[in-house]
Amino acid sequence: MYSIKVLSENGMTRYVSHGERETCLFVTGAYEEGDRIVLEYEGDPVYVWFQADEAMGASLIYLTGNYELKIPFSEGRKAYSPKAFSGDRHYLFVREALKEEIWSRRNQAINVCDHHDNKTAYPHASANVETRNESVFAARNAIDGIKANESHGEWPYSSWGINRDPDAKIKIEFGTAVLADEIVIYLRADFPHDSYFTEATLEFSDKSTICLRFEKTGEAQSFKFEPRETSYILIKDLKKADDPSPFPAITQIELYGVRKQERSIAKAPDPHSGKGKE
């Protein structure tokens, strides 16, 4: 059973919908300060498609518990489309993912609904530093699926900014194991305002590493490697180019591979089959 709710700051339910394997919620009023979206479900960890706002789109996420998103206002909204969470009509939905969606090779590092306090909807991005703690430079921006990188400081040019810290690192957790074989990175390319990274270290959960060497470009930079099982990736040891600008940044990180099948999930029914467990 799934429930999508919009709760007020004092915990009162403003809107709610329920469904066995999927449900949608149509919000017919403007959000207020303190409102939060809550996705609740019962049972073991599960893969679902979830959309918190029609202007953001949906992501296939690995859900390990109830998920909450406080509606962003003021500075917190700058990393989102101006249409997101705005107005008095909003469409949210959740549905259990199909097996072919879960187990296919895909980008395992995208979650448009990620945020700082998220601990239950994976993937989740975090970093040891973010430029001035501003939303447009937060770690979540590196996995929101938006690749616009020719400017900075406002949507859609959000990025992960390192605040000039040579020890900056970003971590993407998957909630369970993935078998990865390729990483694709988009550097921010607002040249000449921006500098760029010449290299970085990619670390896996078994502590093995790969050296990534970048070029000065805003195009996708792909690095393929022998498949590795990992529950997270860490990008660290970032080396800035020897140029006048002090502002290198990363716009987007994609990790391609497949999820490691777990018995309880692999045997789950398809949500559209109308049948019980196999």
Model confidence over 237-263: pLDDT tens digits? 999 999 999 999 999 999 999 998 765
* pLDDT beneath 70: ranges in the chain: 262-278
Given this model, what pLDDT does residue 132 score?
96
Given this model, what pLDDT does residue 158 score?
98
Model confidence over 137-178: pLDDT tens digits? 999 999 999 999 999 999 999 999 999 999 999 999 999 999
- Domains, the chain, in order of start with CATH, read 2-259 (2.60.120.260)
Q: In what order do the strands lie in the sheet with 59-63?
A: 22-27, 90-96, 46-51, 59-63, 121-122
| CB of 39 closer than 8 Å to CB of 50 | yes
Given this model, what pLDDT does residue 270 score?
52
**Which runs of E-coded beta strand occur in 74-220?**
90-96, 106-107, 121-122, 124-127, 160-161, 170-187, 197-204, 209-213
